[in-house]
Structure 1
Amino acid sequence: MRIAVIGGYGPSLINFRGSMLRAMVEAGHEVYGLAPLDSSTVAEELARMGVKFVEAPIQRTGMNPLKDLSSLFALIKILQEIKPDTVLSYTIKPVIYGSIAAKIAGVKSIYSMITGLGYAFGQTSGKRGLLFKLVKSMYRAGLYFNKAVMFQNPDDRNLFVEQSIISNKKNTVITNGSGVDMKHFAKASVNTETPVFLCISRLLKEKGIHEFAQASLNLKIKYPDARFRLVGPHDHGPDSISEEQIRLWQSGGIECIGPVNDVRNELKNCTVYVLPSYREGTPRSVLEAMSTGRAIVTTDTAGCRETVLNGLNGYLVPVKDIPLLEEAMEKFILQPDLAESMGEASLSYAVKKYDVTKVNTTIMNTMGL
């Protein structure tokens, strides 16, 4: 079959969908990757996988009607030229415009993956409530044409049904995230002598970065030898953390590293992985940490709660609750052996539920591949 996979960010085709694309190629399918040209190396890296890259002018952020309409027309033209048998889209704009474009272009089998709900679903009232209503209606229009919709967690699926974005009769599948390559993110021994707490994320408020920083500052005062590392890019937008705030955290002893090309060294050198996000699809960074054998502290919210068996491989804390987040992190300082035993449990849980080969099998079976 000829398959077109549409994403909103070029490198994500490799970093997040690479193993899936390889599995499709290995199964004998002709695969195209459509995304903006965000990196000069994307086409070359995809070619090495046997995937053909096609530049698609999709605006990742913003709600400019003219630019979005231009993206829709461009996708229609590309799909009419490629003539795929099936289209799979992920992230908000590719799902909406990719699905509509595929229908107009005459594609018979259309699928989408909901990989997280993002900023638009953060509030349902006030100014952001207007954005929520707009995005909800756009999702409804795009997903109407889908043969099946894949979700990374059951909470997101239930929300889409409750909000009438999709019908309860729509074929839906839970994929358990995007999966994790257990060989690439291999088990590493845990250093429990000097506790190192790590958070890897775009620096956005809704990722719980403020909560991680405040809990870390409090613990740094009590335990000066403990280390707290915040790794990830400064993301410009309405939900971003200010650079001034980041400098203040650094002055308090938090190690703000910025983005890194390979997170494996960060995971290898940490004791506990922390992500106090407000909501996720399924957090990829948590799965990678679990695969390397790390205990997890995250929030009892959609997408995150599925990754932790509370008290077994880590701790779940309420969203925005700094005292309880601090308390959970402190347990690993007071009981150093917890990190090792819970890390082993994380690895076992990742093998059972999140191995990328199992996730890819679910996706390809859903698509009849």
Structure 2
Amino acid sequence: MKIAVIGGYGPSLINFRGPMLKAIKDAGHEVYGIAPPDSPDVPKKLAAMGIKFVEAPIQRTGMNPIKDLVALFALVKILKKVKPDTVLSYTIKPVIYGSIAARIAGIKNIYSMITGLGYAFGQTSGKQKLLFKLVKNMYRAGLACNNAVIFQNPDDRDLFKELAVIPAEKKTIVINGSGVDLTHYLNSPVPEGHPVFLCISRLLKEKGVREFAEASVRLKKKHPQARFRLVGPHDDGPDSVSDDLIAKWQNGGVECIGPIADVREELKNCSVYVLPSYREGTPRSVLEAMATGRAIVTTDATGCRETVLEGQNGFMVPVKDVSALELTMEEFILQPDLLLNMGKASLKYVAEKYDVNKVNATIMKAMGL
């Protein structure tokens, strides 16, 4: 069978879907990765895995109707040429336009993976209300073309049904995030000495980076020996934090590192991983930290809460609550024995629930592969 996987960002075919693509290929299928030409390395790396890359003019961000129509018709043309038996799309634009294009191209087996709802679903009133309605209706149109919809947490599935984005009878599958490769992210001892708190994220408000930075600035004043590292790119867009705010955090003792290609050294050198996100599909960086054997602090929010067994491998705090986050992070400074025990619990939990091989097997079964 020919399988086409459509993503909105080229490197994600390697970083997030690589093990899944390889598993499908190893099962004897011909696999195509379709995405924008974001990186010249992607086609080479996919080719080394025996996977064909096809570039598509998908704009990862923005709402330009002309560019989106160009992407839709380009996807129709690509799918008519490739003629896959099955199409799987993930992230918002591939899900919407990829699903519609697959239906137009006459593909019988169409699936989508909802990996998180993002900025448009962050607020449903005020300035974002129109965007929310637009995106909701676009999702409805795209997902109507699907045989089944795959979700990374039950909250997103329930919300889509409640909002009638998908009908109650539509087949849905809930998986444990994207999984994590336990042979790539290896368990390592928690570093000795003063604690290092790490957050890896695009610098967006919805990811909770403001709360992490503000709690860190407060803690740095009380515990100057502790370190607080914020790693990730400064994205453009309405939800991005300002350069002035980043400079303020740096002046307060937060180490703002910027993007890095391989996060494993950062995870290895941290003591606690913190992600105070407002909502996620399932946060991949948290799974990577768990696989490294690290205690977790995250929010009691959609997608995040599934990664923490409260008091066992970490703690949850309310969304947007800087004071609660500060006090919870301080627990690890005052009680360093928590680090080792919670790190062990993280490793055990991630192996049981989030092993990428188990997750990929569930995805392939859902698609009848």
Looking at structure 2, the residues matched to 283 and 42 of structure 1 have their Cα atoms a distance apart, in angstroms, of: 23
Contact 1:281 1:303 in 2 (8 A): yes
> 8 Å contact 1:193–1:336 — kept in the other structure?
no
Q: Contact 1:192–1:337 at 8 Å: present in 2 too?
A: no
Cα shift at 1:167: 1.1
Task: Report the equivalent of 2:91.
Answer: 91
Cα distance in structure 2, aligned partners of 1:354 and 1:196: 25
Cα distance in 1 between the residues matched to 2:261 and 2:75: 30
Contact 1:275–1:298 under 8 Å retained in 2: yes
- Which residue matches 1:82? 82
**TM-score normalised according to structure 2 size:** 0.99
Find the counterpart in structure 1 of residue 267 from structure 2: 267
Amino acid at match of 1:210: R
The equivalent residue for 1:105 is 105
Q: Partner of 1:35 in structure 2?
A: 35
State the shift of 1:126 in Å. 1.8
Deviation at 1:192, TM superposition (A): 4.2
Q: Map residues 168-179 of structure 1 onto 2, 5 A cutoff.
A: 168-179=168-179
The answer for the alignment partner of 2:245 in structure 1 is 245
How many Å apart are 1:251 and its aligned residue?
1.0
Which residue of 1 is the match for residue 284 of structure 2? 284
Superposed CA deviations along residues 119-145 of structure 1, whole A, max 9, x for unmatched, are 110111122110000000010010011
Distance 2:127 2:336 in 1: 46
1:264-343 counterparts in 2 under 5 A?
264-343=264-343
Structure 1 residues without counterparts, runs of 5 or longer? none
Kept in 2, the 8 Å contact 1:192–1:339? The answer is no
What amino acid does structure 1 have at the position aligned with 2:301?
Answer: T
What's the CA shift for 1:28? 0.4
> Aligned residue for 2:64?
64
The answer for unaligned runs of 5 or more in structure 2 is none
Whole-Å Cα distance in 2 between the matches of residues 186 and 154 of structure 1? Answer: 28
> Which has the higher mean CA deviation after the structures are superposed, 166-175 or 279-288?
166-175
8 Å Cα contact 1:283-1:303 kept in structure 2:
yes
Asked if structure 2 preserves the Cα contact closer than 8 Å seen for 1:214 and 1:322, the reply is: yes
4+ residue runs of structure 1 moved beyond 6 angstroms? none
C-alpha separation in 1, matches of 2:274 and 2:144: 37
- String of CA shifts for 1:323-362, please: whole Å, max 9, x gaps: 1101110000000010110000000000000000000000
Instruction: Quote the Cα distance in structure 2 between the aligned partners of 1:360 and 1:49.
Output: 16
Cα shift at 1:266: 0.2
Residue 193 of structure 1, CA deviation: 2.0
1:54 Cα deviation after fit = 0.2
Q: Distance in 2 between matches of 1:51 and 1:63?
A: 30
Percent identity of equivalent pairs: 73
| Contact 1:192–1:336 (Cα < 8 Å) also in 2 | no
Query: Cα RMSD between the aligned structures?
Result: 0.6
Q: C-alpha distance in 1, partners of 2:258/2:65?
A: 33
